[in-house]
């Protein structure tokens, strides 16, 4: 799966400005600090990691979001400010105080976000020195620069837009995300920021975001590790002259569908850029007793190192997939009802190897840079889809050398 630079087709969002600067928080010679300015009156929704060792900025962002309408988001790359105790909380709050003093707002109107190495003190002096530069660079055209600045082990930026027509007016939704490793979200994922120029009540915006992350960011995994810093934010700036305030309206349904589509595409881009990944694998589980069961089977397959390394080698070792289904913890699984496919190649039928299956056909599928593993359980009507990637030599190398 080649890591080619994508064509970043995106649109600015009225009422949202972004600026980036090189603060040398960890990296030399590149931007690693981003400030996002939100229009007065903007609504902000967010979901955060459920990791018990959540990072200090996650704690502070949750607190501030519960009591204030944010005007600024501050994002640094290279240092997670996680596992840093009271000093980390102080640094996260000092980040907010620094920006508030520069812009004349309250610290509670600033949300901090960090990504990078866990357990190292955040160099707040460097962040404070870089903040004025990022503010000077604020622009509605700053999305691409920001998307590159928040990258860590990512090889390509993730940035996309959607437009929607509401009568004579057009609304825009733009989103950026970063993530390549430590990906198994449990709320939203890594760091993702979406914004639109519609006006929407915060409660409805929160509902829209939570509906979007479950089948998108919460349905991907690269290595099964939920980060300490995961956060996903959706902002409605209100600067476009379009108001959506009725949850049962057609306008809300269309907007929510567009947000979901954007999240799905960003999630797919994250998996495609998985650390060392060469293949994108879609795992589709059908005829489960309920959606939770379908997801359990999908993630069991996706987290199997044996399945992932077989995919890297293009080895149709279907016994590994079968074994993963069998250990997913399904009560009273009738293996006679289980069927498994690689794309359209049936490899397992009635709980055993399909009579017409050939290794050559399986190998042809697994040699593709994108393919599907489909599992039919024969237990009900529920289904779920999980996206993952293969496990290559480079994944081990990237993570072994991450701090060197």
Place 4 in a pLDDT band, splitting at 50, 70 and 90.
Answer: low
Does residue 88 register a pLDDT over 80? yes
16-272: CATH number: 3.60.70.12
Q: Cα angle vertex 256, ends 13, 40, to 5°?
A: 40
Q: Which of 379, 376, 385 is nearest to 284 (CA)?
A: 385
Q: Cα angle vertex 144, ends 58, 63, to 5°?
A: 15
Residue 189 has a pLDDT of 52
What does the pLDDT look like over 127-160, one tens digit per residue?
999 999 999 999 999 999 999 999 988 989 999 9
Residue 6 has a pLDDT of 59
Whole-number Å distance between alpha carbons of 73 and 99 = 9
Residue 186 has a pLDDT of 65
CA 254 vs CA 163, 193, 213: distances in Å: 11, 20, 16
Does residue 278 register a pLDDT over 80? yes
pLDDT (average), residues 206-223: 92
Residue 2 has a pLDDT of 47
Place 188 in a pLDDT band, splitting at 50, 70 and 90.
Answer: low
Give percent of the chain with pLDDT exceeding 70. Answer: 96
Give the Cβ contact number of residue 331 at 10 Å. 7
Residue 46 has a pLDDT of 96
Does residue 250 register a pLDDT over 90? yes
Report domain extents, the chain. Answer: 16-272, 280-400
Q: What are phi and psi of 2, to 5 degrees?
A: -65, 140
Residue 36 has a pLDDT of 98
pLDDT (average), residues 34-63: 95
Q: Which residues contact 162 (CB under 8 A, 6 or more apart)?
A: 172, 173, 174, 258, 261, 262
Q: Pick 168 or 185 by higher pLDDT.
A: 168
pLDDT (average), residues 65-77: 97
Whole-number Å distance between alpha carbons of 361 and 346 = 9
Residue 224 has a pLDDT of 79
Domains 16-272 and 280-400 in one fold: no
Q: For domain 280-400, which CATH number applies: 3.40.50.620, 3.40.30.10, 3.10.20.340, 3.40.50.2300?
A: 3.10.20.340
What does the pLDDT look like over 380-400, one tens digit per residue?
999 999 999 999 998 888 888
Which residues participate in catalysis according to the annotation? 189
Place 366 in a pLDDT band, splitting at 50, 70 and 90.
Answer: very high
Is the CA virtual torsion 285, 289, 291, 297 positive or negative? negative
Q: Which of 247, 115, 271 is nearest to 193 (CA)?
A: 115
Give the Cβ contact number of residue 272 at 10 Å. 22
Residue 1 has a pLDDT of 47
- Tell me the pLDDT of the chain averaged across its residues: 93
Under a CB-based contact definition with an 8 Å cutoff, are residues 271 and 388 in contact? yes
Whole-number Å distance between alpha carbons of 331 and 370 = 32
């Amino acid at each position: 799966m080649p890591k080619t630079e994508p064509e970043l087709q995106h649109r600015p969002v009225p009422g949202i400005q972004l600026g980036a600067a090189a603060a040398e928080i960890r990296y030399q010679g590149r931007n690693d600090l981003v400030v996002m300015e939100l229009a007065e009156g903007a609504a902000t929704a967010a979901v955060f990691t459920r990791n018990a060792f959540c990072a200090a900025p996650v704690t502070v962002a949750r607190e501030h979001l519960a009591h204030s309408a944010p005007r600024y988001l501050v994002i640094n790359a290279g240092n997670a400010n996680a596992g840093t105790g009271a000093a980390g909380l102080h640094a996260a709050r000092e980040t907010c105080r620094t920006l508030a003093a520069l812009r004349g707002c309250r610290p509670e109107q600033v949300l901090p976000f960090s990504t990078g190495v866990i357990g190292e003190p955040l160099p707040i002096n460097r962040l404070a020195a870089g903040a004025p530069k990022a503010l000077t660079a604020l622009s509605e055209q700053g999305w691409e620069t920001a998307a590159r600045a928040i990258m860590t082990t990512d090889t390509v930026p993730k940035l996309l837009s959607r437009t929607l027509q509401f009568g004579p007016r057009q609304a825009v939704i733009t989103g950026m995300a970063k993530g390549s490793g430590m990906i198994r979200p449990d709320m939203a994922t890594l760091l993702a920021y979406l914004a639109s120029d519609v006006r929407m009540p915060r409660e409805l915006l929160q509902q829209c975001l939570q509906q979007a992350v479950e089948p998108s960011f919460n349905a991907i995994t690269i290595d099964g590790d939920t980060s300490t810093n995961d956060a996903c934010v959706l902002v409605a700036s209100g600067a476009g002259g379009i108001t959506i305030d009725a949850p049962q309206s057609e306008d809300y349904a269309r907007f929510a569908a567009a947000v979901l589509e954007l999240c799905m595409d960003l999630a797919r881009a994250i998996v495609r850029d998985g650390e060392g990944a060469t293949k994108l694998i879609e795992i589709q589980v059908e005829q489960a007793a309920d959606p939770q069961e379908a997801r359990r089977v999908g993630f069991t397959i996706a987290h199997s190192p044996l399945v992932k390394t077989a995919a890297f080698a293009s080895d149709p070792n279907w016994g590994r997939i079968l074994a993963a289904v069998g250990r997913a913890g399904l009560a009273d699984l009738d293996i006679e009802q289980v069927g498994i496919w690689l794309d359209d190649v049936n490899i397992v039928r009635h709980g055993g190897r399909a009579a017409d299956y050939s290794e050559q056909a399986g190998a042809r599928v697994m040699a593709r840079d994108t393919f599907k593993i489909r599992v039919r359980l024969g237990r009900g009507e529920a289904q779920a889809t999980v996206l993952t990637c293969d496990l290559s030599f480079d994944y081990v190398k990237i993570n072994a050398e991450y701090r060197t």
